[in-house]
Amino acid sequence: MDIVELTVTALAERVRGRQLSAVEVAQAYLARIAELEPTLHAFITVDAEGALAAARALDLRLARGEDVGPLAGVPIALKDIFVTQGLRTTCGSRILADWVPPYEGTPSARLRAAGAVVLGKANMDEFAMGSSNENSAFGVCRNPWDVDRVPGGSSGGSAAAVAGRLCLGALGTDTGGSIRQPAALCGVVGIKPTYGRVSRYGVIAFASSLDQVGPIARTTEDAAALLEVIAGHDPLDATSLPQPVGRYREACRRGVRGLRIGVPAEYFAAGLDPEIETAVRAAIDQLAAQGAEVVDISLPHTKYAIATYYLLCTAEASSNLARYDGVRFGLRAARPRDLRDLYSRTRHDGFGPEVRRRIILGTFALSAGYYDAYYAKGQRVRTLIRQDFSRAFERCDVIVVSTLPIMVFKLGERLDDSLQMYLADIYTISCNLAGLPGLSLPCGFSRQGLPIGLQVLGPPLGEEQVFAVAGSYEQAHDWHRRVPEVRR
């Protein structure tokens, strides 16, 4: 039995039944990290000592006959945007390079309480700003399927770690596609839940009205198992929804008979790679063969989504990142001449170029004389995009499209062209603007052997329908069972 090939459910059952010890599991994954991490650089911080201590404590509790939770011994990576008590949290930035938080955020606390073992903090684009993981202050992460290519971003380290078998599951955050996009490029499953479905308490903010926490895993059922643990109301997050958590694992096995699948023309327009379109249309045909009804729909304001998103997210980033001033925590410029010099040099030295670019854009959009022309107008268009989805879901139960319009690109290929980098998110950002659940899962491989992602979108709190479609498709294929051979 190869420990690193077990699913979440299978591994947790063996640990609870004491067929495997949590220490054995942690050691197996830490050995895999030691072997491949120098190549992939999926982690910013590996906490081997903390992981083994947690695993030993779990085994002792099991020996006493205690219930240790549904994720007993499951090895997890956390995107380095999650606040972890006593464990360095950098957000991929020099400005927080040495920050050790005094408290634990809700998502990671819920995983630990359910028996998961945290292996470390995954690499990411700085402050979650990027689509390739090339904006990390701690070096680029590489795609396990081709180490000369990006893993996607901003949760690139989380997706690469799952695909490379450096962990069994991971948490990421998704502001405009930052879970689904790297999941697609790394050939794994990632879900962005409904806005408010998972607490953001202890998640370092990028754009607060768009950010959402979600899991990345190898299978839909593994992702569902993780989401069942982290979802649910949290009084520490004012945006947290009070509705009960769905039965997501069960939904993965429901099938799609009778479900209506919407296919929007706007997502199959010019710019979509022909290989991707072929794979996605084949997936839609597969779902129809399984009993779903395919319905043509329209999302007419999709063409405004990129402009709307980059107005709103940069404005919110400008506001949220104002707290990094060198006064209270994080990097502080040495020997400042005065307060202005302290602010200026701290922020220039601490933030990378992409973060500075977005702060400048957002500050401009919020400035006097431009607020109504840019930020306020962006909010109005956001409402139109949300209304498009509301009307579409009157005619269908889920929407099925591609996750990205392009194949995974090479490191450095788009780094100097911000517009082309931003356009890679064209199929994922509308989901965030509307606050909807969206899941990406593998639906094939290109002629070059690169993963292709299928995206399933649902109405608010429609995670069960999303998992039903994803699970039904996944059961008919073996894409999720393929393992990359990492070239070292």
Categorize the per-residue pLDDT at 4 as very low, low, confident or very high, splitting at 50, 70 and 90: very high
Beta partners for residue 117, in sequence order: 75
Predicted confidence at residue 93, as pLDDT, reads: 98
User: What's the rounded mean pLDDT across residues 46-52?
Assistant: 98
199 is catalytic: no
Predicted confidence at residue 420, as pLDDT, reads: 83
Catalytic annotation, pick one of 108, 131, 136, 154: 154
User: What's the rounded mean pLDDT across residues 40-56?
Assistant: 98
178 is catalytic: yes
User: CA 29 from chain center: how many Å?
Assistant: 21
Predicted confidence at residue 424, as pLDDT, reads: 86
User: What's the rounded mean pLDDT across residues 431-457?
Assistant: 98
What pTM, to 2 d.p., does this model score? 0.97
* Tokens linked to 118: 């945290």
Predicted confidence at residue 421, as pLDDT, reads: 86
275, with CB counted inside 10 A (0-12, 13-18, 19+), is: middle
Residue with tokens 């993780």: 226
Look at residue 394 and tell me whether its pLDDT is greater than 90.
yes
Look at residue 56 and tell me whether its pLDDT is greater than 90.
yes
**Cα 168–20–232 angle (5° rounding)?**
45
230, with CB counted inside 10 A (0-12, 13-18, 19+), is: buried
Q: Give yes or no for a contact between 189 and 223, defined as CB atoms under 8 angstroms apart.
A: yes
Q: Note the pLDDT tens digit of each residue in 90-148.
A: 999 999 999 999 999 999 999 999 999 999 999 999 999 999 999 999 999 999 999 99
Beta partners for residue 126, in sequence order: none
Q: Note the pLDDT tens digit of each residue in 300-330.
A: 999 999 999 999 999 999 999 999 999 988 9
Q: Give yes or no for a contact between 269 and 245, defined as CB atoms under 8 angstroms apart.
A: no
Q: Strand 213-217 vs strand 169-173: parallel, antiparallel, or unpaired? A: antiparallel
Alpha helical stretches, state H, 171-246: 180-186, 220-230
Predicted confidence at residue 212, as pLDDT, reads: 98
Q: pLDDT above 70 covers what percent of the chain?
A: 100
Q: Alpha-carbon distance 471 to 488, whole Å?
A: 33
Look at residue 455 and tell me whether its pLDDT is greater than 80.
yes
Secondary structure (DSSP) of 112-155: HHTT-EEEEEE--SGGG--SSSTT-TT----BTTBTTB---SSS
Catalytic annotation, pick one of 158, 178, 199, 240: 178
As separate numbers, helices (DSSP H) first and strands (DSSP E) second, the chain gives 16, 11
Q: Give yes or no for a contact between 77 and 41, defined as CB atoms under 8 angstroms apart.
A: no
155 is catalytic: no
Which DSSP state fits 84? B
Which DSSP state fits 268? G
Predicted confidence at residue 63, as pLDDT, reads: 97
Q: Note the pLDDT tens digit of each residue in 250-269.
A: 999 999 999 999 999 999 98
Predicted confidence at residue 270, as pLDDT, reads: 86
Categorize the per-residue pLDDT at 29 as very low, low, confident or very high, splitting at 50, 70 and 90: very high
Q: Which residues contact 352 (CB under 8 A, 6 or more apart)?
A: 93, 94, 126, 135, 137
Q: Give yes or no for a contact between 158 and 125, defined as CB atoms under 8 angstroms apart.
A: no
Q: In degrees rounded to 5, what are phi and psi of residue 52? A: -70, -35
CATH number belonging to the domain at 3-266+272-299+390-481, selected among 3.90.1300.10, 3.40.640.10, 3.30.230.10, 3.30.470.20: 3.90.1300.10
Mean per-residue pLDDT over the chain, rounded: 96
Predicted confidence at residue 416, as pLDDT, reads: 82
Predicted confidence at residue 34, as pLDDT, reads: 98
Predicted confidence at residue 452, as pLDDT, reads: 98
Categorize the per-residue pLDDT at 340 as very low, low, confident or very high, splitting at 50, 70 and 90: very high
Categorize the per-residue pLDDT at 1 as very low, low, confident or very high, splitting at 50, 70 and 90: low
